[in-house]
Structure 1
Amino acid sequence: MTPEEFRRYGRQVVDRIADYLTGVEQYPVRAQVRPGDVRTRLPASPPERGEPYEHLLADLDTVLMPGITHWQHPSFFAYFPSNASGPSILGDLLSAGLGVQGMVWATSPAATELETLVVDWLAELLGLPERFRTDSAGGGVIQDSASSGALAAVVAALHRASGGKAGTEGLTRRYTMYVSSQTHSSLEKAGRIAGLGADNVRSVAVHPETLEMDPAHLRTLIEQDVAAGATPALVCATIGTTSTTAVDPVRAIGELCREHGIWLHVDAAYAGVSAVCPEMRWINDGVAEYADSYATNPHKWLLTNFDCGVLWVADRRPLVDALSILPEFLRNSATESGEVIDYRDWQVPLGRRFRALKLWSVIRWYGAEGLREHIRTGIALAQRFAALVDADPDFELRPHHPFGLVCFRPLRTDALALMEHVNASGQLYLSHTKIGDDVWLRMAIGAPTTTAEHVDAAWEALRAAQSR
């Protein structure tokens, strides 16, 4: 593809994206295809000769688009938001165009130094502690997701708990980590990958109503494990669980961790960005004093398209020491000087994209004021929906909904059947969770194009389905 061809088709692609974002409501929210429909409409073998780009764009329209679930649709209320915005898309395009491989400072100094800037900016916007800044002993790094951040935290915690031996001698003794039934599954997966084994990922009880982790039970498990000869390595406290956005008592958990010398990882993948609003900074209680690592995803609720998850550590040394391997082909004078950050040592893969460009674009375009407005709008719309549910005797509302997620259930019909009915209609898309034996529906609001009209329409569709 020549530069002129790229220019011509590139304009067409940008126009298509703009048209898509403008007209996304014309599509049913969820893909209306059956398994195998997309693949069977495409050739079984690759082309022998190259094809005109127009052919690809034609297949995009006729074959792929029917199989797309539209996460940017204003009536997409499933899972959590996966925001995209104009400045973020353009930042991603610039990253792809530059083709930067930012594994070490020397391979593109601007990629590393812009990343150190934007993670410090975001820490300031969220009211996170000074020790998470890159000009301190800690610092931040952009990962692909909070799941990768969790794995990095577990590896660092094991390195510290073993006195640096876990990375060289392996796990020569039994180490344990602690989660609750509401903790994201990525933490258990991280424990398995790091070699702890599923049996050493201990499940802490939760409060039956709030679903927050029970510090008393955590203490019991830690003391039992220590008595049995195990070394507790990490506890994960969650701010805004995936199921219901429960908030664990970080301060109480942190006090226990400090007492026993255990790494405290705080998973705020969804809800953490809400602290851009000063009135939401209550979620940070205990983080400054006790958190060894903290993760949140701008790609969920902060107008930054996937993938962009930020991990901060209070002390970078255990992370870097655990993950740093320096082959000869990576040696360079900047690294040897010790004056630069090499982000290859802050993550599992060696290679890394220039993700900082899109987060930088978002923060500069919207500013703190615009980001706060976006979060406040999502929270206000969630409260609006919660009030509608609460006023209807045919539905039950879960009381805890401080963010953009509302959990509720119908009382006169099966919750899963109701969800499948409205999802199949294409008017909206919900997901569900289970609390005890009961199925609850999840209404996750946060798309930048969602308005009160979309929320009201979703509620009317649910009421109509309940009455059918």
Structure 2
Amino acid sequence: MTPEEFRRAGYAVVDWIADYWTTLGQRPVTSAEPPGALAAELPDGPTAHGEPVDAVLADLDRLVAPRLTHWQHPGFFGYFPANTSGPSVLGDLVSSGLGVQGMLWATGPACTELETAMLDWLADLMDLPERFRSTGAGGGVIQDSASSATLVATLAALHRAGDGRWRAAGVDRRYRAYTSTHGHSSIEKAARIAGLGGDGVRQVEVDPATQALRPEALRAAIEADRAAGDVPAIVVATIGTTSTTAVDPLPEIGRICAEYGIWLHVDAAYAGSAAVCPELRWSHAGLEYADSYCFDPHKWLLTGFDCDAFWVADSGELIEALTVLPEYLRNTATESGAVIDYRDWQVPLGRRFRALKLWFVLRWYGVEGLRAHIRSGVALAARFADRVRADDRFELAAPHPFSLVCFRLLGDDAANAELLARVNATGRVHLTHTRVDGRYTLRLAVGSPHTTAAHVDEAWDLLAGTAAR
């Protein structure tokens, strides 16, 4: 593909994406076709001599788009949002066009330095503790996801808990990780990958009123493990749990971790974005105790996947745990000690220029634009919660501090599951479920920049009308 061919094809692709966004509201949110429908339509292999981009785009329309779950749809209320935006897509396009491999400062100086600056920009925007800035011992890096951030934090915690022996000897003692019963599944996965096994994770009970981790239960679990000869290595606290967006009490948890010398990682994958708004920063009280912290701009901050912002208070501990330096990567800049090599801050060696899309987003929207987006989601969720509260057939199942509302129809689990299935089958909206206090609970998560009050009202009308039949 020559530069001129790329130019023509690129215009066509951008037009296709713009048309897709324009028509999202008219599409069913999810596909009703059975598994294997797309695979059955595809040829057995690629063409011998290639095809024009127009043919590929035609098949995108005919084959792929009708069989998608449309995460950017204004009626998509499932899971958590996975936002993208025009500036994010353009930043990713530039990243792909540059094709930079940013494993070392020397392999992409601007790639590394822009990423460092963007993580400092975000830290300032969210008023994170000073210890996470690159101007001190700490600093930030972009991981692909909060799952990877949790794994990296776990490895650094094991390195600390083993007094450095973990790096050479691996897991030779009974280390333990702690999180609430609503902690993300990636915490157990990280423990398995790190060699602790699923049994190495202690799930600590939550307060029934708040669904947040109970500090006294955490202390009891730590004491029991210590008495058994086990080594508490890491506590993963959550700001905005996946089920209900509960906020674990960081000040109390932080003091316990400090007392026992345990690594504290704070997972704010979804709700961290809320901290761009000063009135929502209450959720981050106690973050000064954290050894590491992460959130996903690719959830609620208009930046496409994969972009998890991860900070550590002491980058030296992380680098000591993860660095491996073969001869073929040695270079003058690294040996000077004056640069950051982000290969030492993550599991893979290679890394792409992810900071570009974040840079595009921050510059396009600005501080006030990002705050307006977050505030809109919170207001729309409150609007929906008011409708639930006003209907005596329904009840709210948990507090809703951000843009997720957990609710249920008064009745048994089967009635709620049937309601969810019937509403989703309309194709106009898509909600998901969880369990709160053991009971089947519906979740409506607002987050798409395309979602308006009309879309939230339509979701409620569908739920209320379907429940009446």
Question: Is this a same-fold pair by TM over 0.5?
Answer: yes
Asked if structure 1 preserves the Cα contact closer than 8 Å seen for 2:244 and 2:398, the reply is no
Asked if structure 1 preserves the Cα contact closer than 8 Å seen for 2:380 and 2:453, the reply is yes
* Residue type of the alignment partner of 2:388: V
Greater shift in the superposed pair: 256-265 or 43-52: 43-52
Structure 2 residue matching 1:105: 3-state secondary structure: coil
Pair 1:462-2:426 in alignment: no
Q: 1:162-212: per-residue Cα shift (whole Å, max 9, x none)?
A: 111101011121111101210000011001100011111111111122111
Structure 1 residue matching 2:141: 3-state secondary structure: strand
Name 1:437's counterpart in structure 2.
438
Q: 1:218-260: per-residue Cα shift (whole Å, max 9, x none)?
A: 1111111111111110001100000000110011011000000
* Residue type of the alignment partner of 1:194: A
Q: Residue 347 of structure 1: CA displacement? A: 0.2
Q: Percent identity?
A: 62
Q: Residue 442 of structure 1: CA displacement? A: 0.3
The equivalences for 1:202-281 within 5 A come to 202-281=202-281
Greater shift in the superposed pair: 14-23 or 47-56: 47-56
Structure 2 residue matching 1:348: 3-state secondary structure: coil
Name 1:379's counterpart in structure 2.
378
* Residue type of the alignment partner of 1:264: L
Name 1:357's counterpart in structure 2.
356
Greater shift in the superposed pair: 7-16 or 45-54: 45-54
Asked if structure 1 preserves the Cα contact closer than 8 Å seen for 2:397 and 2:436, the reply is no
CA distance in 1, matches of 2:127, 2:82: 23
Asked if structure 2 preserves the Cα contact closer than 8 Å seen for 1:304 and 1:362, the reply is yes
Q: Residue 130 of structure 1: CA displacement? A: 0.9
Name 2:297's counterpart in structure 1.
298
Name 2:421's counterpart in structure 1.
420
Q: Residue 46 of structure 1: CA displacement? A: 2.7
Asked if structure 2 preserves the Cα contact closer than 8 Å seen for 1:143 and 1:309, the reply is yes
CA distance in 2, matches of 1:238, 1:104: 31
Q: Residue 135 of structure 1: CA displacement? A: 1.3
Name 1:51's counterpart in structure 2.
51
Q: Residue 443 of structure 1: CA displacement? A: 0.4
Structure 2 residue matching 1:433: 3-state secondary structure: strand
Pair 1:450-2:451 in alignment: yes
CA distance in 2, matches of 1:223, 1:7: 64
Asked if structure 1 preserves the Cα contact closer than 8 Å seen for 2:234 and 2:264, the reply is yes
Asked if structure 2 preserves the Cα contact closer than 8 Å seen for 1:32 and 1:66, the reply is no
TM-score w.r.t. length of structure 1:
0.98
Asked if structure 2 preserves the Cα contact closer than 8 Å seen for 1:176 and 1:201, the reply is yes
5+ long unaligned stretches in structure 2: none
Greater shift in the superposed pair: 247-256 or 404-413: 404-413
Q: Residue 3 of structure 1: CA displacement? A: 1.4
5+ long unaligned stretches in structure 1: none
Asked if structure 1 preserves the Cα contact closer than 8 Å seen for 2:74 and 2:448, the reply is yes
Pair 1:390-2:389 in alignment: yes
Q: Residue 48 of structure 1: CA displacement? A: 2.6
Structure 1 residue matching 2:372: 3-state secondary structure: helix
Q: Residue 31 of structure 1: CA displacement? A: 1.8
Structure 1 residue matching 2:24: 3-state secondary structure: helix
Name 1:159's counterpart in structure 2.
159
Q: Residue 77 of structure 1: CA displacement? A: 0.3
* Residue type of the alignment partner of 2:396: L
CA distance in 1, matches of 2:177, 2:166: 15
Structure 2 residue matching 1:49: 3-state secondary structure: coil
The equivalences for 1:63-102 within 5 A come to 63-102=63-102
Q: 1:350-390: per-residue Cα shift (whole Å, max 9, x none)?
A: 00010000001111111111111000010000000000000
Structure 2 residue matching 1:69: 3-state secondary structure: coil
Structure 2 residue matching 1:83: 3-state secondary structure: coil
Asked if structure 1 preserves the Cα contact closer than 8 Å seen for 2:396 and 2:407, the reply is yes
Asked if structure 2 preserves the Cα contact closer than 8 Å seen for 1:254 and 1:286, the reply is yes
Q: Residue 399 of structure 1: CA displacement? A: 4.3
Name 1:408's counterpart in structure 2.
407
Asked if structure 2 preserves the Cα contact closer than 8 Å seen for 1:250 and 1:287, the reply is yes
Name 2:282's counterpart in structure 1.
282
Q: 1:245-277: per-residue Cα shift (whole Å, max 9, x none)?
A: 011001101100000000000000000110100
* Residue type of the alignment partner of 1:108: G
RMSD (Å) for aligned C-alpha atoms: 0.9
Structure 2 residue matching 1:294: 3-state secondary structure: strand
Q: Residue 49 of structure 1: CA displacement? A: 2.6
Q: 1:66-103: per-residue Cα shift (whole Å, max 9, x none)?
A: 11111111111000011111111100110011011100
CA distance in 2, matches of 1:253, 1:285: 11
Asked if structure 1 preserves the Cα contact closer than 8 Å seen for 2:429 and 2:459, the reply is yes
Q: 1:96-118: per-residue Cα shift (whole Å, max 9, x none)?
A: 11011100000010000000000
Q: 1:297-340: per-residue Cα shift (whole Å, max 9, x none)?
A: 00000010111001100011111111100011111100000000
Structure 1 residue matching 2:106: 3-state secondary structure: helix
Aligned length: 467
* Residue type of the alignment partner of 1:110: A
* Residue type of the alignment partner of 1:283: S
* Residue type of the alignment partner of 2:334: T
CA distance in 1, matches of 2:347, 2:436: 34
Asked if structure 2 preserves the Cα contact closer than 8 Å seen for 1:176 and 1:231, the reply is yes
